[in-house]
Amino acid sequence: MQTTTVFNNINRLVQGRGCLSGLPAEVERLGAKRILVITDPGLMQTGIPTRVAKLLSGFEVVIYSDVESDPSVESVDACAQFVKDNGFDLLIGLGGGSPIDTAKCVSILATNGGKTEDYLGIEKVPKPGLPKIFIPTTAGTGSEVTNVAVLSLKALHTKKGIVSRYLVADVAMLDAELTLGLPGHITAATGMDALTHAIEAYVSRFAQPLTDHFALDAITRLGRSLRTAVHFGANIEAREDVLTASLYAGLAFGSAATGMVHGLAMPLGGLYNIPHGIANAVLLPHVMKFNLVAATRRFGDVARALGETTEGLSERAAAERAIAAVISLSEDIGIPKYVDQLGIPRKGIPAIAKDGMTNSRQILPNPRDVTYEGLVGILNEAFSPE
């Protein structure tokens, strides 16, 4: 039984509608002069990065928009070289998980040297990076409050992570108004990513009272507001609820970790370029079914947090309601039910399972012991019935 717990937290969190207007004060507080805003081409089309630059007109500001979706180690190295060549003293990660994870890694490369691949793994970064502010414009990854960055290793067709205390933000700013223009399908995928974080953190072997609190709150918010945010995106209350859920899920899994939904989602991304949120969403009920026997009571709590009535049910039946609720939510927001609907062939199962067995950071927290045969079983269930 785990007797010692550790809760990882960020230095400063600013949250509220319109809070972006306080960005200049946060930059001033950090004593920065030359700032790089790290974002992606899609967000540039919204005008948000330009708006940020105008807010910071009293500082030297450059926008870097070459961030890839599911960034590769090579793209991060290129951004880091740009930072080194131009002498920035503050990074702003603006966008979804890809720009924020890129900014995290570039921060440590700027001060520690080397290549991104040198730091893959847990606590391999020797010293702090450049100061950094993270501003999410999607509600899903929770990356703005975690000590993790996930990157693509394209040559190996896989994804791996860096875990370090030095990836943690100096400031995270969450303004729900920035998510109002997010398309429904992206809202759905990122929202299910957040739900996966929360559920996996709650049933994790590393769960603790603080992570339990944030995880259950996140699940409750997503259960009541994600459908509205997807189908009525102008509803600011729903947007704010989902953004807060993503934040709380990030605070939960940042300390309790994730399990084998993520452990299998990373090979789906690396081998088949499936977007991370979609991979998590499709795999979630299938991995929940696998894990149910090892966390039955906790899955009952998940069902209730999702609004299910479990009074009079057995512990097992209540837990099964959680899986049914996740499937119902996914269907309502347009998430595919099976992995073959993503274009993945059944013959790919052995390679996916083999890659999944290399992800010890997900295997160890998973509530049920993980074997290669178990992963093959999950994946077989995740394909449409023949």
Q: Where are the domains of the chain?
A: 13-179, 184-381
pLDDT band of 10, cuts 50, 70, 90: confident
pLDDT band of 121, cuts 50, 70, 90: very high
274 or 4, greater pLDDT = 274
pLDDT at 1: 42
Mean pLDDT over 89-104 rounds to: 97
Q: How far apart are CA 7 and CA 255, in angstroms?
A: 5
User: Quick one: residue 338, left, alpha or beta (phi over 0 = left, psi -120 to 50 = alpha)?
Assistant: beta
Question: What CATH code is assigned to 184-381?
Answer: 1.20.1090.10
- Sign of the alpha-carbon torsion through 301, 302, 303, 309: positive
pLDDT band of 275, cuts 50, 70, 90: very high
- Return the amino acid letter for 39: T
pLDDT band of 3, cuts 50, 70, 90: low
CATH fold for domain 13-179: Rossmann fold (3.40.50)
Mean pLDDT over 362-376 rounds to: 98
pLDDT at 6: 81
Q: How far apart are CA 282 and CA 262, in angstroms?
A: 11
pLDDT digits (tens, 9 = 90+) for 129-161: 999 999 999 999 999 999 999 998 988 888 889
Residue 2, pLDDT > 70, answer no
Q: How far apart are CA 94 and CA 99, in angstroms?
A: 6
Q: How far apart are CA 44 and CA 31, in angstroms?
A: 26
- Cα-to-chain-centroid distance, residue 337: 21
- DSSP sequence for 168-226: S-SEEEE-GGGGTT--HHHHHHHHHHHHHHHHHHHHSTT--HHHHHHHHHHHHHHHHHH
154 or 105, greater pLDDT = 105
pLDDT at 5: 80
Residue 310, pLDDT > 60, answer yes
Residue 386, pLDDT > 80, answer no
pLDDT digits (tens, 9 = 90+) for 195-247: 999 999 999 999 999 999 999 999 999 999 999 999 999 999 999 999 999 99
Instruction: Say which DSSP state 295 is in.
Output: S
- Tell me the pLDDT of the chain averaged across its residues: 96
pLDDT digits (tens, 9 = 90+) for 25-75: 999 999 999 999 999 999 999 999 999 999 999 999 999 999 998 899 999
pLDDT at 7: 85
- Structure tokens, 201: 């953190």
